[in-house]
Structure 1
Amino acid sequence: MRILIIEDNETLATALSHRLKDNGHAVNMTHDGETGLAFLKQEDFDLAILDINLPLRDGLDLLCQARRDNVTTPVLILTARDTTQERIIGLDTGADDYLVKPFEMDELDARVRALLRRQRNNNQHEQIGKLVFDRRGHSVSFEGKDLGLPRREISIFECLFDRSGRFVSKANLLDYVYGIGADVNESVIEVYVSRLRKRLTIYGVEIKVARGLGYLMQVTE
């Protein structure tokens, strides 16, 4: 899953990012409200973790504007504001859940799992050809047997799966797997895609490559 962290405390944001990546998620971070809103409007995320006290644009104002702009990404608010009224305001503004600082990482994990489960409840197990993609379990299987894809390849599979019928550029794949602005050479995507293509071909699923367009995953006819 792809998660956006909008948190001005860079130490906390980095800790959250490491935790979520360890749990198999792709993570993007930003530290101000204006950039956070731009990311939400322009990119596809499965979840956003949002602080309220942000520079440039307040978190609640960001959330309100995002909902007005028809952004449906689930949002988990992180804040030190712990009164009942403030929680009600956050939820009424469009948040899906509310976590008060300080908190335990285990509780964060549980709330993230619950929000992602709620979002994907009707389609946790999806199919392309004869392969079954389990989002919750971060796995791809054939006739009940897990293919054992490494984490990076699972992220690439998920990105291509969610953009079925469309080419995905190398740059977009890099952003999805490592996060926007990551200091990683695009050549690593070529390596991961090459490995993934070899694994999927025998199951009737191919990754098509087109110069200048990127990659497209489809069922072999």
Structure 2
Amino acid sequence: MEDDQKIARLLQLLFENHGYEVLIASTGEEGWRMYSTHNPALVILDLMLPGMDGFEVLEKIRSVDEEVGVVVLTARGEVENRIRGLKKGADDYIPKPFHLDELLTRVEAVARRVRKPELLKIGSMVFDVNSKILTFPDGSTVVLSERESSLLYHLFINAGRVVSREELLKEVWGDSEFISKNIVDVYIKYLRDKLKDHGKIVKTVRGIGYVLYA
């Protein structure tokens, strides 16, 4: 959703050239109607939209959908607006002016987070990403919170590889500028507490990060 037609056209060309299907809205009301009709996987949202502003659009989107990726792209680069946007549920915040390569890279990172397969398997362990349920070979299950599920997802798709705290912070929390790296350790502990009856599945590699073994 972008009211500057030149920027909107530039973004359309950029993302269409990289395989995305792009719809453009120039007002908040139009963007909300378009979102409600087409149910996109990812939204790039300008805060300074005429009529309904971007903050209101973001609130409406998050009131009905917690999974869709939302990247805020705006000239409002002040820290307070960045924090406000993130608190309202944006996955990333990119101030104007921006570099196209950086924008594409960060949008693709959000897109990877929202394009999750329904089931992941390692050995006889099955993780249902949508229901956030992990099923073990003996039939027992563990239900995870939204954040625990996202954290386990990234460990799952990197099974056997050590994933750094910085990478997990970026992939799960989206913006490391306002969040302490310690939050990763906190949620790893939450995961381990829930999985402790099934062995040490998530292991620490001191000074680097974490690795998942089935």
Q: Where does the alignment leave 5 or more consecutive residues of structure 2 unmatched?
A: 1-40, 48-53, 70-89
Output the CA distance in 2 between the equivalents of 1:24 and 1:153. 18
Q: Secondary structure at the match of 2:201?
A: strand
- TM normalised by structure 2 equals 0.53
Inter-CA distance 152–144: structure 2 relative to 1 (3 Å threshold): same
Q: Please, which of 115, 124, 131 is the counterpart of residue 130 of structure 1?
A: 124
CA distance in 2: counterparts of 1:22 and 1:195, whole angstroms: 21
In the comparison of the two structures, how many residue pairs are matched?
Answer: 147
Distance 1:202 1:42, change over 3 A: same
- The Cα of 1:31 is off from its aligned counterpart by 4.9
The 5 A counterparts of 1:192-207 are 192-204=187-199, 206-207=201-202
Give the structure, 1 or 2, with the largest relative contact order (CA under 8 Å, sep 6 or more). Answer: 1
2:59 match: 15
Deviations 1:91-145 (A, max 9, x none): xxxxxxxxxxxxxxxxxxxxx8xxx4xx73xxx2221243211123233223555
Residue 182 of structure 2, aligned match among 173, 182, 187: 187
Q: Helix, strand or coil for the counterpart of 1:160?
A: helix
Letter paired with 1:193: I
- Seq. identity, %: 26
Report the equivalent of 1:166. Answer: 161
Q: What is the DSSP-based 3-state SS (H/G/I as helix, E as strand, rest coil) of the residue aligned with 1:147?
A: strand
More strand by share: 1
Alpha-carbon shift at residue 175 of structure 1 (Å): 2.0
What is the alpha-carbon distance in structure 1 between the residues aligned to residue 61 and residue 95 of structure 2? 13
Match of residue 149 from structure 1: 144
Instruction: Give 3-state SS (helix, strand or coil) of 1:208's partner.
Output: strand
Q: What is the TM-score with the length of structure 1 in the denominator? A: 0.52
Q: What's the counterpart of residue 6 of structure 1? A: 44
